[in-house]
Every structure is written in structure tokens, then in C-alpha cells.
Chain A
């Protein structure tokens, strides 16, 4: 078989599919508020746990949460779990330098925001329990397009990062049940 014949054995088959996912009502309100720089959660009417974002229900009590159960949360909190990622190269990967991948528990919340960047601190000094505050993107640069009804995405496109505040670290008790 000649080399030319071998070339014909390779099939270029690029498929694209564009689709629009309509966010649920609770996520729609959450997204609208994020664009305005406000973080909205929902408090379970049964157990009092605060979900950010609201799922529209409490996953532990299995009771619905409505707009009446929603509340605004501060943009401050603590780092619970984290790692430093050495980026692997793949098609579409733009990261080339090690980056932080952290979960942040907002003050007053019971669920964490995952995949956050933490700034204002060297990677080697990052700690669970560290106090942080959201560093919002300028209003026109915020995007909620990556948000999905599956419950993740979006937050990283409205803030640049969470920045270390320099306040004393929280006790382990505050985050040991919020590692995600």
C-alpha cells in the first residue's frame, strides 16, 4: 500500500451541535442576580440549610424551595478544599501554568462553590479555612453562559477569583463537613 493510499484511510469527521438550555426559574433568578453582583441562595423551609445556587428543592429533605425561601448571601467565605492543577494539554486547553482549584463556602451557606481560583496568596501558602472575598469581573464582562441545569458552572465567569482577605483562618469545624 502506498503512502497516498494510507492518507485516504483517515476520515475527517467534525461534528458540531448547537443547542440552547433553558435554565430553571430558580437558576434564572440566580443568573440574573449574579450579573448584578448579587449572590442568591435558597433556605430549605424544613431543615434551614442554605443552597447556593438553589436547586429548587432541598436534596436532603426533598421539599421544594420557592422564591419566598431565597435570600442574598455575602460574597465572603472560606476555602474548604483545594488543589493546585498542573494543566494537561488537550484540544481546547488554554491553561499553561499551574492553577488553583478550590471550593469556597460562602458565609451563611451550606453548599460550596467549586472550581474557584484563589488569589492574593502564594500557591504554597494556600490553606483550608482561609478567609476570602469575591473579586467581581467588571459588569460588562460577566457571563452566565456556562451555567447548566445540572447544578454547576457559571460562577467562574462572573468573578475573577476569590481573594484572600488576610483575616484569621476559620476553625476546622467550620469546613470539615464542606470539603467538596
Chain B
């Protein structure tokens, strides 16, 4: 009972908003779960195990919510595991679910992740309640400055990423910030939050959940819709701070990328991958991850932005969904990358569909950019 092939056959997302006062935390999760089950043409009875994930409890002030969520997520009398790897948790939750299937322990697994940020204050949570909190943007800002310095990228690259993602989000019915008419000028004129990041180059704070249904070959055969098959999946981590650490291009991110490329038989990611959903909460992380995962060479990532290569109509579209820059319910954000990559592979992404996607890359990062979760999804099962 080992080495089963694993596919995503159902994807469900809530409508992400600043506040979802109309539902409880449990109701929020159930909304995503019901949509994923409907997409997979299954019911909760078909689920063998549930894996859930969210960012630190301090973000909402609701401590160990998994204790009261078992019924709402359909886990009664079934295995329920909670995953936590900071901001990358949505990605690693999806991968832990997939591992259940690949290991042959369970046939069909529900993975769900969320954040209901309006119930608390993530800035307070990150600061541990103390004054002088810097937020995630403040923590990453010195490394973005270092990237800009090392690569010689012009300032407008960050603005371009923000405009692209917000315009893409306008095509995504679930996205939080939809700004179809946003201009470079508007981004440039927005207030500086954490130099070099301006207000419009930063992610919002969202309420929302994302769920995926993972299954094996038998399970996929029963679905009438196309499946998105895992060809590679990997979680890597490293210490947040040690002498010689390169926080601009962390080694764990390099290792994680090369692990999934190797599993999927990818030699040249830039030409062999059709689109990517990368975790970009602040504009500069798009070129940083293009280089950080060896899709682009050193100093070449920003040029892919500059030439429009990462646009929805470009040769290497990044975040056609609008990405984390447009929608950030922190715990859900990593899983949305995998869910959106799966939708692209299945041809079900609607208005933000990239034509003819055969191979998609999903990536999430978290902590001090020291947690990574990545996956390669394809239209056909691995050999």
C-alpha cells in the first residue's frame, strides 16, 4: 500500500472579503468545504481523513480552534490533523493531505485552511501584543531592499507586479481586492509602509477559507471532471537566522524547488512550466521567487516582470488569480496557490484561465522566509 498517484479533484474557495460577519469560523470553513465537495461530485461520507491548517492562533485570538471544528469539517470519527508552518501552512496542509493518499493510508482526503482575520489583529499577533510591531512587511522589507540593490532592478518593477496582480484579481470571482483600472501612478503615489513597499504593493487582510479534495487513481476515475495530478511535492525548512544565511534567496527555497523539479523531471522550469502561483504578499517577492526558485537566473527575475513575461498573456504567467497581493487570509493563502494551480491544470479557472496549461507550479512560503511548500501539477498522472 504505497506510492499511490495523487490528484486534486475538487477545489473550493470562499468569497474572500475584509470581514465575513455573516458566518462563524466554522461556517467559513464549511463554505469552502461544500464547494470543494460539489466540485469533486462527492459528499462528506466519501472523505476518509481531514487535514486542516491555519497561521498562529494569535492572529484571531481564537486558541486551538481545531478542538471545536471537528463536526464542521466533517471529521467526526475520522482522523483530524492540524498543520502549522506559519504563512506557508496552506501549502504544507495540502501536501500533508496528499501524503496520506500517496502513502496509501487513505483513499480520499479533505484538506482545508483558513484565516478569519477580522476577528483579531494580525499586527498585534505578530508583535506579541507589544508596541513597535513591524508586521510581516517590515520584517521582509530589508531583504527586498537587498534584492533591489543586488539586482539593480528599477523601482517601477514593484509597481508593475502590483498592477498586474490587482488587474488579474478583477477576473477572479473569489478575490478580495479587485482593481481592474489600477495604474502604475496610483501604486507609486500610495503611502510608503515599509520602505520599499508602498500601500498598494502590500497584501490586504482577508477573511476566507480554501479546501481541496485529494484522491488516488480509483477516486479520480469516478469524477466526471478533469483531475490535477501531483508530479512533485516538497516541504523544506531552515533556521530563520544563522551566520551566512541568504534571506534574499534562502537555501531551503532552492532545495524545495529543485526537489519538485527533479520529481517532475523538469530540467528547465522557465520553459517546461506553463504557469505558476507563487506566494507574493509584497510586490518584490515575485522577482525574488523567480530567482529564488531558479526559474530565472541571478538578476533576471525582474526582467521577466519588465517584459510582461509574467502577465496573464505572457509566456510564464505568475498569479493569474491575483495572488496573495489581492487576497490574503493568511492560513488559506498557501493552499489557494495549490488550488488555483489545480484549476489552471483542469481548465476550470474561468476568466483568468491561461490557455493550454499542462504543467503548473504552486509555491508557498512562511516564517522568516524559512518555510517552503511547493508542488508541480499536471493534466495526466505520473508514469
Contact = CB atoms under 8 A, between A and B. Distances in A.
Interface of A: 49, 51, 59-60, 81-88, 90-95, 99, 101-103, 110-112, 114-115, 128, 146, 151, 177-180
Looking at chain A's contact residues, is the secondary structure mostly helix, strand, loop, or mixed? Answer: loop
Nearest to B130: A92
A101 B243 contact: no
B356 interface: no
A115 B241 contact: no
Contacts of B196: 83
B146 A111 contact: no
Given A83-B142, A90-B124, A90-B133, A180 B194 contact: no
B57 to A, nearest CB: 13
A93 B242 contact: no
B133 A180 contact: no
B131 A92 contact: yes
Given A90-B123, A101-B138, 18 more contacts: A60-B244, A82-B142, A83-B142, A85-B134, A86-B191, A86-B194, A87-B133, A88-B123, A88-B133, A90-B121, A91-B121, A91-B129, A92-B131, A128-B145, A146-B130, A179-B143, A179-B246, A180-B241
B132 interface: yes
A83 B129 CA distance: 21
Nearest to B192: A86
29 contacts: A51-B243, A60-B243, A60-B244, A83-B142, A83-B194, A83-B196, A85-B134, A85-B138, A85-B194, A86-B191, A86-B192, A88-B133, A88-B193, A90-B127, A92-B127, A93-B127, A93-B132, A101-B138, A101-B142, A102-B142, A103-B142, A110-B243, A110-B244, A114-B241, A128-B146, A178-B243, A179-B142, A180-B241, A180-B247
Given A86-B194, A90-B133, A92-B129, A177 B246 contact: yes
A92 B24 CA distance: 26
B248 interface: yes
Interface of B: 121, 123-124, 127, 129-135, 138, 141-143, 145-146, 149, 191-196, 239-248, 368
A84 B196 CA distance: 9
A94 B123 contact: no
Contacts of A178: 243
Given A85-B194, A99-B132, A179 B138 contact: no
Nearest to B63: A15
A179 B146 CA distance: 8
Contacts of A111: 241-243
A42 B146 CA distance: 28
B315 to A, nearest CB: 32
Nearest to B135: A88
Contact of A84 (B129, B132, B195, B248): B195
A83 B145 contact: yes
A119 to B, nearest CB: 15
Given A60-B243, A95-B131, A180-B241, A84 B142 contact: no
Contacts of A177: 243-246
B132 A95 contact: yes
B243 A179 contact: no
Nearest to A84: B195
Nearest to A110: B243
A157 B242 CA distance: 23
Nearest to A156: B132
A179 B248 contact: yes
A112 B129 CA distance: 24
Contacts of B129: 91-92
Given A92-B127, A94-B131, A103-B142, A84 B194 contact: yes
Contacts of A128: 145-146, 149
Contacts of B146: 81, 128, 179
Nearest to B132: A95
B226 to A, nearest CB: 43
B348 to A, nearest CB: 37
